[in-house]
């Protein structure tokens, strides 16, 4: 994705050396800020800092917004708090807050003090937004939106957009608020443009506004915006007071992050904050070894279970050859059911109160699939010359463990959600461990029953 | 998510019975189309059809766009092709095409013929858009955008938006095209509003426009739009001819679908098209049983491997008690590595050419984690009274299989991508099966070595 940055890097380096700032400005007019952020990464700290100091603070702020958090932090260090204060105060309020919150505490405080000297409003916005948790609606919202008083005419609204439009994160919705900032309605720029200049905003606005509270979880915000195709969603507090607006670009980031976290949790890794190559060796070890150890201790139960069935294992030696096959099959059907549940819970289609309905479905599917695989397994055992009793044992064990896998796999994520935990957390390996023990017990109990006469005592 | 629909259903039912269409219209003015679509679902086919016939075609079209595909299809059947033609021709071009493509072939053709009688342009757009694969940029784009000739003044552009704005899917970008529809630039409505009425569009537009070809994969489209925070992305064909525009709402749907598919693929399920409760019993069986059977056949190799080590298993009976623990630990470290790779590949951070770098990292992590868990395992075996040789065997086997899990788990998704397949496809269970066999071989080879003197022949 760095194509553009790589292509312009030599030209930028040259212009920077020559000090041809005007030409640099012309070049950047045609380039997306995201590509300039990539370019900074490509140039490295020193040259990147030089570039950011050379361009207007307004542009530098746009570029800063698009840099990864750990790069923002090192850039603040390289450029020095005094030099970045002007740039950071030009950033949009939500990104500015995230940046300051991401810095080491002392550095963040110093930077906030400097911002207060440059632009007291910008500092006040940060203090306002920093009150809310990072993964809540309050943590996502920005205070850079366009609002208008009720009774305003369309021509006045357009004039206001013209005046405030450069600073606002979105101009595509205008919020109608009272003097005490109570939200009365919202009008899209599309509807405003389609109206006549003399129309009153009150006649255009939608009164039944979808809004969320600042403590709403970011996943619910993302779900609501995705469902209704909103490109912005207002956040209101007590007395329907407008606190901020969440824009669609932040929601896309939420969706992408949540998807990464889900996949990692399923794979029994504590979610990483950074991407693969940016996460260092020991961070990975920490994120991985905790779950791996928990699952390892869980695995001790398989050993204990097997010891309990020593009698039948000694009498019918071939049983152990099929053990990995049986327990993996249970694990596989379990992870299928779990992955269906995790997504259905994530999109809000299913809730834990649906458990009876889901259990019925899963047991039904388990029976059908278990019988199909059980027949295959019995044939395999018979071909290997194990005899009909053995084949019967395999059949029974496969049917039992596929049903068991479906039940555990579907119910475990529902249980996690019921307990207020993330349903994806380590579910597949955890289910596999439970199903391993279950598989041993089912398999060898059936064997004991079938080979009853042969087993001593 | 049906709260609004449930709340208004009784009132709507009453107004519909009374035939108070005007009051119904007033009520719907304040309600989002998504909620009206939910309402139709709640009312059922018959009443839903009655409601859709009662409201203006323009509103019915917006509601139709938001209904699930299988509901659209049954609604076309309930209302009859002749009655829906007017509604469907008012739908946005991309949704109209998806609807017709989703219908049974004959019904789709009849509907398209009726649309051609009502609105020939609408039918032509469908034929144009139906050329492209559903999961390509061409399949996502719409032809309902606002374009303007070079040299136009801002006042003319705003006038054009006023005239065409109701039909366009987005008015927030205006595309500057030549007479032969060659794309010259794009201007955001924000920049247009901030300019003075006499400015020429050529001075406002950005010339270096990000665009994709109609055959670009939808995942790449989603990645590009997410990276740059675009709310619309133009699709251009030969000679930079503007073919259509992709809007951000479609991209959010792509991201949500792809995340569901990834999670399902990891869990060894063929991705379902519908959500959990909407997918019927036998569809699930089909989606699940194929992979479950493949993995079951794969599991036969564990049986074969175990038979090869019969000598050592007979001599040291306790070995079998630790077998599930060893192979699960390998599977767990493998699924950790796989889930990291799957996301890194999905976001484009990693490509298969990075394999050496990744392999080195994963082997390093495998050694550290393997030694940590190996020590735990050895202590456990020693406590159980198995003796130092046995403890040594467990230590060696755990170290070996954790490294093996990391290597297989990280390399397998890269290999799938290299082969042009989806890296998430069944990776976790498939890796588990490979690692199961590997675990048996490593574990029992070490045992044979350590207990060499005790094993006959």
Distance separating alpha carbons of residues A40 and A2, to the nearest angstrom = 11
C-alpha separations of A285 from A105, B46, B298, B335, B373 in Å? 26, 59, 30, 14, 12
Residue-averaged pLDDT of chain B: 88
Residue in A with minimal Cα distance to B305 = A321
Check residue B373 and give its pLDDT.
94
CB B385 within 8 A of CB B376: no
Q: Which chain A residues are Cβ-neighbours of B193 within 8 angstroms?
A: 158, 161-162, 165, 171, 189
Mean pLDDT of A22-27: 86
CB contact under 8 A, B275 and A323: no
E strands, A230-387, in order: 232-236, 242-247
**Optimal mutation site among B8, B11, B229, interface A, most CBs of chain A within 10 A:** B229
Q: Where in chain B is the domain with CATH 3.10.580.10?
A: 146-255
In total, the C-beta contacts within 8 angstroms joining chain A to chain B are: 330
Task: Give the bridge partners for B212, in sequence order.
Answer: B235
Strands A146-148 and A173-177 come out as parallel
Q: Do A194 and B259 touch (CB under 8 A)?
A: no
Write the DSSP assignment of B105-169 as a string of letters: HHHHHHHHHHHHHH-HHHHHHHHHHTTS-TTBHHHH-BS--EEE-TT-BHHHHHHHHHHHTTT-S
Higher pLDDT: B312 or A257? It is B312
CB contact under 8 A, A350 and B165: no
- Which residues from chain B sit within 8 angstroms of residue A186, using beta carbons? none
What's the rounded Cα separation, in Å, for the pair A200 and A184? Answer: 14
Q: Do B251 and A251 touch (CB under 8 A)?
A: no
Q: Name the 3-class secondary structure at A119.
A: coil
Detail the DSSP E strand segments found in B44-180. 146-148, 173-177
- pLDDT above 90: residue A393: yes
Distance CA B426, CA B445 (A): 29
* C-alpha–C-alpha distance, residues B293 and B368, integer Å: 35
CB pair distance less than 8 Å for A300 and B380: yes
Percentage of residues in chain B having pLDDT higher than 70: 98
Q: Does domain A146-248 have CATH number 3.40.50.2020?
A: no
| Residue B265: its H or E element | helix B248-266
- Topology of domain A3-130, per CATH? MgtE N-terminal fold (1.25.60)
Min distance B335 CA to chain A CA atoms (Å): 5
Chain A CB contacts of B253 below 8 Å: 226
DSSP code of residue B187: E
Q: Give the whole-angstrom CA distance, residue B391 versus residue B382.
A: 6
Cβ-count burial of A13 within 10 angstroms (0-12 exposed, 13-18 middle, 19+ buried)?
middle
Return the pLDDT at B453: 57
CATH topology of domain B146-255: CBS-domain (3.10.580)
Which band of pLDDT confidence, cut at 50, 70 and 90, is reported for residue A422? confident
CATH 3.10.580.10 domain span(s) along chain A: 146-248
CA angle A213, A347, B432 (to 5 degrees): 135
Chain A partners within 8 Å of B317 (Cβ): 314
- How far apart CA A442 and CA A312 sit, in angstroms, is 13
Indicate whether A457 pLDDT > 50. Answer: no
How far apart CA A245 and CA A247 sit, in angstroms, is 6
Of A121-125, A364-368, B264-268, the one with minimum mean pLDDT is B264-268
CA dihedral B74, B75, B79, B81 (to 10 degrees): -70
Q: How close, in Å, is residue B179 to chain A by CA atoms?
A: 24
Contacts of A384 in chain B (CB under 8 A): 303
| Contact of B413 with B423, CB cutoff 8 Å | yes
- Mean of the per-residue pLDDT values of chain A: 88
What DSSP assignment string belongs to A48-116? HHHHHHHS-HHHHHHHHHTS-HHHHHHHHHHH-HHHHHHHHHHS-HHHHHHHHHHS-HHHHHHHHHHHH
Nearest CA in chain B to A192: B162
Residue A227 per-residue DSSP state: H
What torsion, rounded to 10 degrees, do the Cα atoms A28, A34, A38, A41 define?
100
pLDDT digits (tens, 9 = 90+) for A73-106: 889 989 988 889 989 999 988 889 988 988 888 8
% of residues, chain A, pLDDT over 70: 98
CA-CA-CA-CA torsion sign (A51, A54, A56, A58): positive
Between chains, do B228 and A432 touch, taking CB under 8 Å as contact?
Answer: no
CA torsion, ordered A240, A244, A249, A255, to nearest 10 deg = -60
Judged against a pLDDT cut of 70, whether residue A383 lies above it is answered with: yes
Contacts of A364 in chain B (CB under 8 A): 281
Measure CB to CB from residue A343 to each of B210, B264, B321 and give the nearest one.
B264
Q: How large is the average pLDDT for residues B413-424?
A: 85
Residue A377: its pLDDT value, please? Answer: 94
pLDDT of B93-143, one tens digit each? 888 998 898 888 888 999 999 999 999 999 999 988 888 988 899 999 988
Integer Cα distance of A420 and A417 in angstroms: 5
Do residues B410 and B350 touch, judged by C-beta distance below 8 A? no
Tell me what percent of the residues of chain A surpass a pLDDT of 90: 37
Q: What one-character-per-residue DSSP string does B37-57 give?
A: HHHHHHH-HHHHHHHHHHS-H
Task: Look at residue A423 and tell me whether its pLDDT is greater than 90.
Answer: no
- What local confidence, expressed as pLDDT, does residue B184 receive? 95
**Spatial distance between the Cα atoms of B195 and B201, rounded to a whole number of angstroms:** 9
Express each pLDDT in B380-391 by its tens digit.
999 988 889 999
Report the residue of A27, A251, A324, A349 to disrupt the B interface, i.e. the one with the largest count of B CBs within 10 Å: A324
B164, B321, B435, best to mutate vs chain A, most A CBs in 10 Å = B321
pLDDT grade for B457, boundaries at 50, 70 and 90: very low
**How far from each other are the two terminal CA atoms of chain B, in whole angstroms?**
69
List helix spans (H) across A130-215. Answer: 137-140, 154-164, 189-194, 201-204
CA distance A57 to B243: 37
What pLDDT was estimated at residue B455?
55
Binary contact (B328, A31; C-beta < 8 A)? no
Q: Which residues of A touch B429 (CB under 8 A)?
A: 328, 331-332, 335
Name the segment(s) of chain B with CATH classification 1.10.357.20. 276-450
Q: How far is CA A362 from CA A344, A370, A403, B215, B261, in A?
A: 14, 11, 8, 39, 20
**What is the CATH T-level fold of the domain A276-450, as seen in this structure?**
Tetracycline Repressor; domain 2 (1.10.357)
Q: Which of A319-323, A420-424, B354-358, B390-394 has the lowest mean pLDDT?
A: A420-424
Span A113-140, pLDDT tens digits: 999 999 999 999 999 888 898 889 999 9
| CATH 1.25.60.10 segments of chain B | 3-130
Q: How far is A324 from chain B (nearest CA, A)?
A: 6
């Amino acid at each position: 994705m760095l194509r553009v940055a790589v292509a312009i890097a030599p030209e930028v380096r040259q212009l920077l050396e020559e000090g041809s700032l005007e030409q640099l400005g012309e070049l950047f007019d045609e380039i997306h800020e995201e590509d300039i952020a990539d370019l900074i990464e490509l140039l490295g700290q020193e040259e990147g800092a030089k570039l950011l100091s050379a361009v207007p603070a307004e542009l530098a702020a746009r570029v800063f917004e698009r840099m990864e958090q750990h790069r923002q932090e090192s850039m603040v260090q390289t450029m020095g708090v005094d030099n970045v204060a002007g740039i950071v105060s030009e950033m949009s309020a939500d990104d500015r807050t995230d940046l300051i919150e991401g810095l080491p505490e002392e550095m963040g405080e110093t930077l906030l003090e400097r911002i207060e000297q440059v632009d007291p409003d910008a500092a006040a916005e940060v203090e306002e937004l920093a009150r809310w948790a990072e993964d809540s609606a309050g943590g996502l919202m920005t205070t850079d939106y366009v609002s208008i008083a009720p009774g305003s005419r369309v021509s006045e609204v357009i004039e206001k957009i013209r005046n405030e439009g450069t600073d606002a994160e979105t101009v595509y919705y205008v919020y109608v608020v009272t003097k005490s900032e109570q939200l009365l309605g919202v009008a899209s720029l599309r509807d405003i443009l389609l109206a006549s200049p003399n129309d009153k905003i009150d006649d255009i606005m939608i009164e039944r506004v979808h809004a969320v509270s600042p403590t709403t979880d970011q996943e619910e915000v993302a779900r609501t915006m995705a469902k209704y195709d909103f490109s912005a969603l207002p956040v209101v507090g007590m007395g329907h007071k407008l606190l901020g607006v969440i824009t669609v670009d932040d929601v896309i980031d939420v969706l992408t992050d949540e998807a990464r976290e889900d996949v990692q949790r399923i794979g029994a890794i504590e979610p990483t904050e950074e991407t693969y190559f940016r996460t260092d060796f020991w961070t990975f070890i920490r994120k991985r070894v905790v779950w791996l150890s928990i699952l390892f201790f869980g695995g001790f139960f398989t050993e204990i279970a097997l010891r309990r069935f020593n009698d039948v294992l000694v009498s019918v030696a071939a049983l152990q050859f099929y053990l990995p096959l049986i327990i993996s099959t249970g694990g596989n059907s379990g992870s299928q059911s779990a992955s269906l549940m995790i997504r259905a819970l994530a999109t809000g289609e299913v809730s834990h109160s649906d458990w009876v309905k889901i259990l019925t479905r899963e047991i039904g599917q388990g029976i059908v699939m278990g019988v199909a695989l059980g027949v295959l397994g019995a044939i395999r055992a018979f071909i290997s010359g194990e005899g009909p009793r053995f084949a019967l044992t395999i059949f029974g064990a496969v049917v039992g463990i596929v049903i068991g896998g479906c039940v555990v796999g579907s119910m475990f994520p529902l249980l996690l959600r019921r307990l207020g935990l993330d349903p994806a957390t380590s579910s597949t390996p955890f289910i596999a461990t439970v199903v391993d023990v279950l598989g041993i017990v089912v398999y060898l109990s059936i064997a004991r029953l079938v080979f009853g006469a042969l087993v001593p005592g």
